[in-house]
Amino acid sequence: MSVNDEWRRRSLAAVWHPCTQMKLHAHAAQPLIPVARAEGVWLYDFDGRRYLDGVSSWWVNLFGHSHPAIRAALIEQLNSLDHVMLAGFTHAPVVELSERLAALTGLGHAFYASDGASATEIALKMSAHYWRNVGRAEKCCFVGVAGGYHGETVGALAVTDIALFREAYAPLVRLAATVASPDARQAAAGEDAAAVAERAAAALGDWLAEHHEQTAAVIVEPLVQCAAGMAMHDPLYLRRVRELCDSYQVHLVVDEIAVGFGRTGTMFAHTQAGIRPDFICLSKGLTGGTLPLSAVLTTDQVYAAFYDDDVARGFLHSHSYTGNPLACRAALATLDLFEQTDALRANRATAERLNAQLAALHQHSRVRHGRHLGMLWAWDIASSLPDFARRYARHALAQGVLLRPIGHTLYLMPPYVLSEAEGEHLAQGALAALQATLAEEAEGAASQSEGAVDGV
């Protein structure tokens, strides 16, 4: 038994893996990949094989794995302060990070948690509690966008509109309202992305006209609904949502968890619409993909409504690791890298180069709705295979590339440090995996799991 096989066996016996039907790993065709170490864009298994991390390990990694600057910052932090509770105590990394996030976003009073779903819940709770504190307790409902994804804890599932993740827990969830998505792929003949955005905004307007008195907040993923299959929309939609929220006195929560920190070409996606939200949720890339950390930032007006002699009017939410110094230090080192490497500008050059390397994929006859924004590429693949994603991912691994399509949407979200040669490997591997998957389809491949639907 190889070292890989031994870790596989032990993992399947001891670990319950996320977003996974564990039985699938019983098939030799769907093996777990044990990772021994990672560096730059590469993941290395125990037998010496390497895989280019084409999805930045669930969209968290920005500057490559094991970045020396982030590693050094973490070691230095570990030598002075590992952790202290943040209630009644404070420390340099959390203060410095909060100051820098405020300067970057124009919002302040950063509240911390460890994952994206918790950030969503914090924003929703803060919004509803704000309205209660200002005497409008009836404003406690939320509106999300069709196909939206904001995390999978029971509270976050209220605004996550993906049946596969929500159906089994429907009785536990206090469902938010769902309005039409501005997904530009819905454009009818003669329509452009802006027209779809106007239509979707009008649907939100209709809903708010009727329900604004009970509505605390609208939550949106700015520019890209990632988990929905990299559904992109015109920034006009965000401007219209902002206008509607203003006229109906409803908060606007922008969930930048997946798209923040440069992924769409600007530091934060919503700035491309020139809007200022009432809440921003951040996570994933915040620590450059090293440690779990999330943050919610809001306005002085919201903060002031909690500032009171009455304890119960305060935001009494907490997590044990809130504002963990190591995670905050990793985030500071990540923000330093943005400045030191002029990352947003460098990304424009990297994206242009990768775009050219992807020419054959862009032109593939089975590709529909090719789309690209910043350091994110997606294509819908016309394939009759119900388990296209799973088959594709397997072929991609055989090419030395980690790619996991969402349904029939193939996408790339590589770390920003992709070199020219690595870009070539990614582009070639992505194309070869597509050809191999479609060859199986042509052979009339009997699906291992007919009707199977894949997660992210």
Please state the closest distance from residue 402 (CB atom) to ligand PLP, in A.
Answer: 16
Check if the beta carbon of residue 57 is closer than 8 Å to that of residue 300: no
Nearest residue (CB) to ligand PLP, 145 versus 250: 145
Nearest residue (CB) to ligand PLP, 147 versus 151: 151
Check if the beta carbon of residue 279 is closer than 8 Å to that of residue 253: yes
Please state the closest distance from residue 281 (CB atom) to ligand PLP, in A.
Answer: 7
Nearest residue (CB) to ligand PLP, 277 versus 423: 277
**Which residues, in sequence order, are bridge partners of residue 253?**
219, 279
Listing DSSP states for 231-281 in one string gives EE--THHHHHHHHHHHHHT-EEEEE-TTTTTTTTSSSSGGGGGT---SEEE
Nearest residue (CB) to ligand PLP, 219 versus 434: 219
DSSP H helices, 108-235, are 116-133, 154-157, 163-166, 193-211
By the 10 Å C-beta count (0-12 exposed, 13-18 middle, 19+ buried), 84 is classed as middle
Please state the closest distance from residue 158 (CB atom) to ligand PLP, in A.
Answer: 13
Nearest residue (CB) to ligand PLP, 115 versus 380: 115
Q: What does the binding site for ligand PLP look like in residue numbers (CB under 6 A)?
A: 115-117, 120, 149-151, 221, 226-227, 255, 257-258, 283
Per-residue CA distances from 30 to 26, 87, 408 (Å): 7, 45, 18
Nearest residue (CB) to ligand PLP, 158 versus 361: 158
By the 10 Å C-beta count (0-12 exposed, 13-18 middle, 19+ buried), 89 is classed as exposed
Nearest residue (CB) to ligand PLP, 115 versus 440: 115
> CB nearest ligand PLP: which residue?
116
Nearest residue (CB) to ligand PLP, 231 versus 335: 231
Please state the closest distance from residue 245 (CB atom) to ligand PLP, in A.
Answer: 19
Please list, in sequence order, all residues whose beta carbon lies within 8 angstroms of the beta carbon of residue 440, skipping any fewer than 6 positions away.
Answer: 385, 391
Listing DSSP states for 23-39 in one string gives GGGGSTTS------EEE
Please list, in sequence order, all residues whose beta carbon lies within 8 angstroms of the beta carbon of residue 11, skipping any fewer than 6 positions away.
Answer: 17, 32, 34
Nearest residue (CB) to ligand PLP, 120 versus 127: 120
Listing DSSP states for 64-111 in one string gives -BT-HHHHHHHHHHHHH-S---SSS---HHHHHHHHHHHHHHS-EEEE
Please state the closest distance from residue 359 (CB atom) to ligand PLP, in A.
Answer: 29
Please state the closest distance from residue 256 (CB atom) to ligand PLP, in A.
Answer: 8
Please state the closest distance from residue 295 (CB atom) to ligand PLP, in A.
Answer: 12
Please state the closest distance from residue 293 (CB atom) to ligand PLP, in A.
Answer: 10
- Please report, to the nearest 10 degrees, the dihedral formed by the alpha carbons of residues 398, 64, 10, 117 taken in order: -110
Please state the closest distance from residue 297 (CB atom) to ligand PLP, in A.
Answer: 15
Strands 108-113 and 294-298: antiparallel
